[in-house]
């Protein structure tokens, strides 16, 4: 039996626009971009990318707080590549995420330990990365790269 079951419902508004309602009452509108849809909300690929980026950022924040590191706002930039597979179908073929620490690397006492483990606790990224190549980079507030993507 699963430790947790997460549910949502989708209800079509019109064309490719759907109301997405999550357990707990939260909701959002998802829509395909033109020309297929109207772009009234994030597309499924954008939601996938946002889920990976948000989960990684939250995991890094959790690890920083667990080790009582200084609290400074994190920011994240992410992109996904969409290309056609051998059958001509569009697929997400890669994800790249860059997390930016809120301070210079030297301000963190246990940064090496944090960077070595935070990804492993990211539920969404670890699940998605099993099927889609995912590259994670971490830079400090000065732009210095403190974690490079692992090679497959």
pLDDT in tens, 110-143: 999 999 999 999 999 999 999 999 999 999 999 9
Q: What backbone phi and psi angles, to 5 degrees, belong to 53?
A: -65, -45
pLDDT in tens, 51-98: 999 999 999 999 999 999 999 999 999 999 999 999 999 999 999 999
Name the pTM for this structure: 0.92
Homologous superfamily (CATH) of 44-147 is K homology (KH) domain (3.30.300.20)
The answer to whether the beta carbons of residues 108 and 68 sit under 8 Å apart is no
The answer to whether the beta carbons of residues 23 and 40 sit under 8 Å apart is no
Q: In what order do the strands lie in the sheet with 8-14?
A: 8-14, 17-22, 27-30
Spatial separation of the C-alpha atoms in residues 25 and 22, rounded to whole Å: 6
């Amino acid at each position: 039996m699963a430790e947790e079951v997460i549910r949502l419902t989708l209800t079509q508004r019109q064309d490719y626009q759907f109301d997405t309602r999550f357990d707990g009452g939260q909701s959002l509108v998802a829509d395909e971009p033109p020309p297929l849809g109207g772009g009234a909300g994030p597309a499924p690929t954008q939601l996938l990318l946002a889920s990976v980026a948000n989960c990684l950022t939250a995991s890094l924040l959790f690890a920083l707080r667990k080790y009582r590191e200084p609290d400074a706002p994190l920011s994240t930039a992410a992109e996904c590549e969409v290309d056609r597979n051998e059958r001509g179908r569009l697929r997400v073929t890669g994800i790249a995420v860059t997390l930016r620490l809120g301070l210079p690397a030297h301000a963190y006492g246990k940064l090496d330990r944090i960077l070595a483990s935070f990804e492993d606790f990211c539920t969404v990224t670890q699940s998605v990365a099993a099927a889609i190549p995912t590259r994670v980079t971490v830079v400090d507030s000065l732009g210095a790269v403190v974690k490079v993507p692992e090679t497959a």
